[in-house]
Chain A
Amino acid sequence: MSNDRRSRLGALAATRFGLGARGDEIARASADPIGWLLAQLEGPGPTPAPRPATPERLAAAHAVERLPGSGDAAFALHRGMADADLLDRARHGAETLQPFRERWALFWANHFALRVGGPVELLAGAYVREAVDPHLTGRFADLAEAALTHPAMLAALDQPESTGPNSPAGRASGRGLNENLGREILELHTVGRAAAYDQADVVEMARLLTGWSYAGGDADEDARGRFRVDLDRREPGGRIVLGRRYAEGEALACVRHLAGRPEAHERVALKVARHFVADAPAPALVRRLAAALDRSGGSLPALAEALATAPEAWAGPGKFKRPYEFLVSAHRALGFSPSDTGTVAGFLRACGHAPLWADTAAGSSDADAVWATPAGLAHRAHLAQRLGGQAGAGDSLAAAAAALGDRLSERTRRLLGRGDLEPAEATALLLLSPEFLRR
């Protein structure tokens, strides 16, 4: 490979697959761009900064809710935790030496997205750290199991309330099924509509899942926040989902089987290609990604390798960054970490994009058209000017070269080199340049 080509791929590795170059990252990636990406999925990953875990959060919420007139205090607790989690995650994103791993994590957090509401803001940061981050280098079925049995997901999809009508609790109370989790496992998390499931499959799935719950904030300390099966609510009897029979209590086996089906692999392959490569990715690329999952028994590193070695992934114009990717890459380009929740949470909430939760269980959109809006540009311009002011004086041309490498265009280079720009203005323009807005 020629040096020119290597440095071009190095720039793409850092910006398209990573979170934007920080420092000399493009130079480091250029030696072996694909190897640089894949090495990030080896080993246990970074040690997260200390933040409260799910049991502590549930206990804190329980303590607040017991107070009279606790609505405002509960809201403050949830919102405060969420904003601190956003800042914490953005800071990690701005500093990490494994930016592809972080993109990989946030992709999967969005695949198993928490629909905002209820306790989701309280728990979302812990959910990603506990259920997603530890499973990035394993099998898709393991990740699915961890995500779908986490208290945040169970609560977000109303699973603890679902009661088998013929279970002891159902017979005593007249309560019944809540289909939410069962439907979304089929539709969103695993096989999708390609498997042609029908309403009977949804109901069977919901029956199979009855009893899935977690120990809440009022539980004993050693149980609190843990997944548990509430036998009192479990619908008796075996179930048939998509033509396959499961005995009572085999809900987890069913989830794992669904996660390993070819339709699930195809669905995940399409989403990976849409996220990293293009809104309408080449069918051949999607087939290769799905085949990598099929062949490897759902190995996520095998999927990443198929992506990183696909010529299609290194071609094309690249996608428009989503608001979070813009925020983090801007900090990486300027070489400092976000330090206040106002900047991070304020920007993300205004843009309607939080990496730890979403407006719907389907997750935040990956379509360029959703984010490339006039208002989206105005929010970015506002942030770019603020960060430009914080960055102070410096060589903006050197910063542009480090941030974009060979992707820096002649037009942007000429404009940033003009003598009549204030340093803050030049920095803002770098962040708002066409090549920086895209990845």
Chain B
Amino acid sequence: MTLHPDRRTLVQSAAVAGVAAWVGAANWSRARAAERPRLAVITLQGGMDGLSLAPPLRDERYHELRGGLAIAKPLPFTADFGLHPAMPKLAAMAKAGEVRLAPAAASPSRSRSHERESEVLAAGVVAAGDARGGWLNRAVAALAAGGGGASGQALDVAAPLLASGPAPFPAWAPGAPDIDPRLMGRLKRLYGDDPGLQALRADAGRLQRRTALAADGAGGSELAVRARTLGRLLAADDSPTVGSLSTGGYDTHGGQGAEQGRLADRFRDLDEALAALKAGAGPAWSRTAVLVFTEFGRTAAANGAGGTDHGVASAALLLGGAVRGGAILGDWPTLAASRLYEGRDLAPGLDLYVLFKGVLAEHMGLDRTVLDRDVFPGSTTAPALRGLSS
């Protein structure tokens, strides 16, 4: 989206006025706000095949199980795992010590169902039908309650469950049209004391300005534009400290491909998006952590129809300037026949709730009690992972 020149001038003069106001205590509190940690959460929808994203280098069963879907020449990544060749930018970040791989992460549920696993991982609650919005929203609420001044923004058109709940976490992605000021004024009167619609209207007014400014000049794929915009929003002082976006196309039952093909195209797009997020964040990258996960992994073996079916564990990624590079997160159960879950799927080596909690505790500074009680209610048996932050 290109910004209208008049509005660009308007925004710039507003910025100048803002600079003029940077004095005394205001200056101090803004500086503190700028130092707050930033978190981006990227959800890969459809069940991403972790064994193609990060193929094991020393697992003798890999090529036997995968056949034509095996990644023959992965890029260097960790000691024991390679990276899909469509992801050179992520490989470079890994080399710079900014990436951690959880090669066998899974939801605490095991249903192999898109709907169910997506809900468990977004809600942060395992009990069915007990969804009280999403854990990321509750985390923002907890940060705000702790005086962190936190807010969120989902770079999606439709609001994801992950971001729904009591805290301000509206959905707005580049490309949504502006509501002109005159209509905005009329709507304010029209919506009277309807709190829901007044909030939507007010959010639209606020978000359209800041998102258009952040998206200005961002190029590349649709996903990369959203990712770069998210990075820029996280970098700005008066913008959200937490963001999310989701992207689909990972349900590769057929025509999955290997070095090239349908899944490789998704990985290439993701690689570009992660690099765009980093570029968008600029200096704020050093305070940023990015979580990337999917609802489930896929069968350890190819399904005999050029693809893979629904499985259990998959790869998850934690990256960013605030992330301490190093060993894999969780265990690697291996692909040995005796270690496969129900004889067919990569078994869980790390509960994703443990990873989520670890990021919220170490990187975002949330208290363990708050995490167990408010953000992931009923999850006291899932500890918070340590050693993630640099």
A residues within 8 Å of B by Cβ? 115, 117, 157-158, 161-163, 165, 170, 174-180, 183, 187-188, 193, 199, 202, 350-353, 359-362, 365, 369-379, 381-382, 385, 411-412, 415, 425, 428-429, 432-434, 437
Tell me whether A351 and B200 are in contact (CB under 8 A).
no
- With A375-B204, A381-B179, A429-B190 already in contact, the answer to whether A369 and B164 are too (CB < 8 A) is yes
Most A CB contacts (10 A, CB to CB) among B248, B303, B307 go to: B303
Tell me whether A362 and B190 are in contact (CB under 8 A).
no
Distance, CA A238 to CA B308, complexed state (A): 25
Tell me whether B157 and A199 are in contact (CB under 8 A).
no
Per-residue interface assignment for chain B, residues 237 to 265, with 1 indicating a CB less than 8 Å from any chain A CB and 0 otherwise: 00000000000110101100000000000
Distance, CA A345 to CA B334, complexed state (A): 47
What's the A-B contact tally at a CB cutoff of 8 Å? 150
What's the nearest-Cβ distance from chain A to residue B322, in Å? 29
| Cβ contacts under 8 Å, B194 to chain A | 434
A-binding segment of B49-57, B169-177, B378-386: B169-177
Distance, CA A178 to CA B173, complexed state (A): 35
Tell me whether B253 and A178 are in contact (CB under 8 A).
yes
| Cβ contacts under 8 Å, A375 to chain B | 157, 171-173, 176, 204, 207
| Cβ contacts under 8 Å, A352 to chain B | 157-158
Q: Is B146's beta carbon under 8 Å from chain A?
A: no
Tell me whether A180 and B45 are in contact (CB under 8 A).
no
| Cβ contacts under 8 Å, B115 to chain A | 187-188, 360, 362
- With A373-B170, A415-B190, A428-B183 already in contact, the answer to whether A158 and B305 are too (CB < 8 A) is yes
Q: Is B18's beta carbon under 8 Å from chain A?
A: no
Distance, CA A382 to CA B178, complexed state (A): 8
Tell me whether B248 and A378 are in contact (CB under 8 A).
no
- With A178-B253, A376-B158, A433-B190 already in contact, the answer to whether A163 and B179 are too (CB < 8 A) is no
A-binding segment of B75-83, B106-114, B275-283: B106-114
A370's closest neighbor in chain B, by CB? B158
* Chain B interface, DSSP helix/strand/loop, else mixed: loop
A-B contact pairs, 7 of them (CB 8 A): A174-B304, A178-B253, A188-B115, A193-B128, A352-B157, A372-B200, A381-B187
Distance, CA A392 to CA B196, complexed state (A): 30
A384's closest neighbor in chain B, by CB? B183
- Chain B residues 107-160 with CB under 8 Å of chain A are 111-116, 128, 157-159
A117-B249, A178-B253 known, 15 other contacts, Cβ within 8 Å: A174-B304, A177-B305, A178-B304, A183-B112, A199-B344, A372-B200, A374-B203, A376-B200, A377-B204, A378-B204, A381-B204, A411-B190, A415-B190, A429-B186, A432-B187
Q: Is B326's beta carbon under 8 Å from chain A?
A: no
Q: Is B4's beta carbon under 8 Å from chain A?
A: no
Most B CB contacts (10 A, CB to CB) among A162, A165, A374, A434 go to: A374
Tell me whether A175 and B190 are in contact (CB under 8 A).
no
Partner of A350, one of B157, B159, B189, B203: B157
Distance, CA A432 to CA B173, complexed state (A): 21
Q: Is B310's beta carbon under 8 Å from chain A?
A: yes
Q: Is B330's beta carbon under 8 Å from chain A?
A: no
Tell me whether B190 and A163 are in contact (CB under 8 A).
no
Tell me whether B158 and A415 are in contact (CB under 8 A).
no
| Cβ contacts under 8 Å, B208 to chain A | 378
- Chain B residues 332-380 with CB under 8 Å of chain A are 342, 344
Per-residue interface assignment for chain B, residues 307 to 322, with 1 indicating a CB less than 8 Å from any chain A CB and 0 otherwise: 1011000000000000
Tell me whether A362 and B179 are in contact (CB under 8 A).
no
Tell me whether A371 and B254 are in contact (CB under 8 A).
no
What's the nearest-Cβ distance from chain A to residue B333, in Å? 18
- With A178-B305, A193-B116, A373-B159 already in contact, the answer to whether A434 and B197 are too (CB < 8 A) is yes
Closest 9 CB pairs of A and B: A176-B304, A161-B305, A374-B203, A374-B204, A382-B177, A375-B176, A178-B305, A158-B253, A175-B304
| Cβ contacts under 8 Å, B249 to chain A | 117
What's the nearest-Cβ distance from chain A to residue B204, in Å? 4
| Cβ contacts under 8 Å, B173 to chain A | 375
Most A CB contacts (10 A, CB to CB) among B45, B186, B208 go to: B186
Distance, CA A425 to CA B173, complexed state (A): 26
